[in-house]
Structure 1
Amino acid sequence: MRIAFPFAAIVGQDQMKLALSIAAVDPSIGGVLVFGDRGTGKSTAVRALAAVLPQMAGADCPYHCDPARPDEACEICRSRQKGKRAQKAVALPVPVVDLPLGATEDRIVGSLDLERALSAGEKRFEPGLLAKAHRGFLYIDEINLLEDHLVDLLLDVAASGENVVEREGLSLRHPARFVLIGSGNPEEGELRPQLLDRFGLSVEVKTPTDLKTRITVVKRRDAFERDPAGFTATYAAENAAVRDAILAARNRLGGVAVPDETLEKAAQLSIRLGTDGLRGELTLMRAARALAALQGDGAVLWPHLASLAPLALSHRLRRDPLDEAGSATRVERAVGELEAA
């Protein structure tokens, strides 16, 4: 098995690491989009996340259903429940699944197991990438180059939390709830607005300009490639600390209060920026609550909102031809104006 670069060893991309950690604490935030220069560690950070995620309890089925949520079970688990068979829960790593650009629709949604059909004459479903990503993360590199019909497919599944397969004589559905992680280079094309709106947080990454940071990145990457196992062992304790922090934040999340004053500030900020709909401020509130849980705070306050506003709102702004400032700059400016008001 290929060793991933340690999450704790990544330097110079704090916003990206924070966004991924927040999505790990509260998956309902809606995913993370990472856009920026090539070679800035986008794919590295996503794959490194898999090594620090706490394990989950899953049923012994192809979709690793949550035994604690029988209402969301697949058909296999439902049949076991009807037969009053005990569900066997096992500790599983949280799936982080790559969706390559060249993947076919069959590979993504699943298809008929042809080998079984030809050898035994049985119609059996071969689960696809959506099934493997259930309760985990689905990662798409160069997401802005994804074909339109696959974008439509992902939008349907993301909205319903269920994959419906009607093909080759098969008719079935299975749960498919996942955190969508996308990365890409904006110079290679823009993301469709419908898909862009599905991401809870958006991070813009840039090539570090600080000399010390660049040297540190090169030295760590070189050390990792020369001795992956030894380098990873060096950061084992720090990676474990990140895992413990995520787990502790999940346990605290339900107890973090969101005062009306904080909700009012989030709404005022969205109104000031002219964002469409209410998804922006809802995501901002959820992300700020996850940040408060990560920091061990008992309530969401203005500093939590202010620090995450560019991540939660910048990709939801309408283009303003009279304002040459970038979307993140516009959000930061609105935050400053609201602070001063």
Structure 2
Amino acid sequence: MTTIKERMRPVFPFTAIVGQEEMKLALILNMIDPKIGGVMIMGDRGTGKSTTIRAIADLLPQIQIIQDDLFNSHPTDTELMSDSVQSSIENGENLPISLINVPMVDLPLGATEDRVCGTIDIEKALNEGVKTFEPGLLAKANRGILYVDEVNLLDDHLVDILLDSAASGWNTVEREGISVRHPARFVLVGSGNPEEGELRPQLLDRFGMHAEIRTVKDPALRVQIVEQRSQFDQDPDSCIQEYKEQQTTLKTNISQARDLLDNVNIDFSLRMKISQVCGQLDVDGLRGDIVTNRAAKAFAAYNRRTQVTSEDIRSVITLCLRHRLRKDPLETIDSGSKVVEVFSEVFA
């Protein structure tokens, strides 16, 4: 049954989006393996960043949660359930389960720390003398997608909080003598326009992938994009219907890739070469190596294979490393030519 909200705001089909293959691939790989660590999408204004990100959530299968739970707690996985649900299960309580769409949470630029992390319900504290935790956006985003548009304009302090939660999978709030910890496993997706300022290199490094998008220059493609958008705005239902089969196919592919992921292998020789590329590019830390290995496995699974090839690595390595090369905050991000050059050298 569709909700009023879904009827009011139809989602543009992901498979109808023309071009921007880099961004689409980065999002799909993060849906297959959320541990890749999210994606930063930088590009010109009006290139469909927000449309594409909202469209990807529509492709994911529904998830099981403990009914009416504020943290979207998983019915069986203790890593994905809140402390209160855990204690209820330990006490032998039988908790009802329901299905929901994968949460897609927008983080507004003006959000406060309390709104993001959660706070104490002051009204209840004053009226009833009870200290109650009021969950924030990180709780809503658990097991879903947290989208920050114009992430390069977001307060650094908030970006730090988001990245820490995304990395640890937990959010801890200490307020007024109350300490609350809850799971916050989400795919962090940021978008922005480089003209409005870059992120600090330390923060950029925390995003698993970095996709660049440019305005389409080909007149025929531009006309196709404009026509598609106009068609969707005039009659969303017929546009959604037109792409229903492609959407179902992609949905199935993502779901099958998720199931296959644990069986995908990457040879030691290929892992050595990935680390050699990272070493030659002078990438700080080991995050680049880890993300490239994960992304290559997800790409192989997406192509229904259990063995990673050097071509799989070639397809993802630029997305995983280009934003880790910048040492000076005043430098611009390399378009990926350095990564391709070193990759070709090492994998020759």
Query: Is the pair's TM-score, using the shorter chain for normalization, greater than 0.5?
Result: yes
* Contact map agreement 1:317 1:327 (CA 8 A) in 2: no
Structure 1 residues 123 and 319, CA gap change in structure 2 (3 angstroms): closer
- Stretches of structure 2 that go unaligned for 5 or more consecutive residues are none
Question: Does 2:40 match 1:33?
Answer: yes
Deviations 1:247-294 (A, max 9, x none): 000011111111112112211211221111111011001001000000
State the Cα distance separating 1:117 from its structure 2 match: 3.6
Aligned residue among 251, 259, 262 for 2:259: 251
**RMSD of Structure 2 on Structure 1 (CA):** 2.0
Residue in structure 2 matching 1:326, options 328, 334, 337: 334
Alpha-carbon distance between aligned partners in 2 of 1:162 and 1:253, rounded to the nearest angstrom: 24
SS of the residue corresponding to residue 111 of structure 2 reads coil
The Cα of 1:152 is off from its aligned counterpart by 2.5
Contact 1:62/1:131 (8 A) holds in 2: yes
Residues 1:204 and 2:215 aligned together: no
In structure 1, the partner of 2:30 is 23
Give 2:50's match in structure 1, choosing from 43, 54, 69: 43
Distance in 1, Cα, partners of 2:347 & 2:84: 53
Task: State how 1:1-341 maps to structure 2 within 5 Å.
Answer: 1=5, 2-60=9-67, 61-319=69-327, 326-340=334-348
Question: How far, CA to CA, are the matches of 1:206 and 1:193 in structure 2?
Answer: 22
Distance in structure 1 (CA, Å) of the matches to 2:332 and 2:59: 39
Preserved contact between residue 49 and residue 191 of structure 2 (Cα < 8 Å):
yes
Give the number of aligned pairs. 339
> 2:139, 2:184 within 8 Å by CA — same for their partners in 1?
yes
Compute the TM-score of the two structures, normalised by the length of structure 2: 0.92
Tell me the SS of whatever aligns to 2:12: coil
TM-score by length of 1: 0.94
Rounded to whole Å, the distance in 1 between the matches of 2:301 and 2:110 is: 38
Identity, % of aligned positions: 48
1:48–1:329 CA distance, 2 compared to 1 (3 A) = same
- The separation in 2 between residues aligned to 1:72 and 1:296, in whole angstroms, is 28
Out of 131-140 and 110-119, give the one that drifted further: 110-119
Query: In 2, distance between residues paired with 1:268 and 1:159?
Result: 25
Unaligned runs of 5+ in 1: none
Q: Deviation per CA, 1:117-165, whole angstroms, max 9, x where unpaired?
A: 4544432221110000111111000000001221222233233321111
Are the counterparts in 2 of residues 72 and 175 from structure 1 also a CA contact under 8 Å? yes
**Offset at residue 172 of structure 1 (A):** 1.3
Amino acid at match of 1:28: K
Structure 1 residue 223: Cα displacement: 0.7
Distance in 2 separating the partners of 1:180 and 1:42: 14
Question: Contact 2:22 / 2:211 at 8 angstroms: preserved in 1?
Answer: yes
Q: Is the 8 A contact 1:109 1:130 kept in 2?
A: yes
- Is the contact made by 1:6 and 1:232 (CA closer than 8 Å) also made in structure 2? yes
8 Å contact kept, 1:306–1:335? yes
Structure 1 counterpart of 2:273, which letter?
K
Letter in 2 for 1:104: T
Q: Distance in 1 between matches of 2:214 and 2:189?
A: 18
Counterpart of 1:203, as a letter, is: A
SS of 1:254's equivalent in the other structure is helix
**Residue 312 of structure 1: SS of its match in structure 2?**
helix
Q: Which whole-Å CA distance do the structure 1 matches of 2:12 and 2:191 have between them?
A: 17
The one-letter code of the counterpart of 2:36 is I
CA contact (8 A) 2:148 2:191 kept: yes
Following superposition, the deviation at residue 3 of structure 1 comes to 1.2
Runs of 4+ in 1 over 4 A off after TM superposition: none
Distance of 2:122 and 2:242 partners within structure 1: 46
CA contact (8 A) 2:323 2:333 kept: no
Contact 2:325 2:333 in 1 (8 A): no
Q: Quote the Cα distance in structure 1 between the aligned partners of 2:333 and 2:322.
A: 11
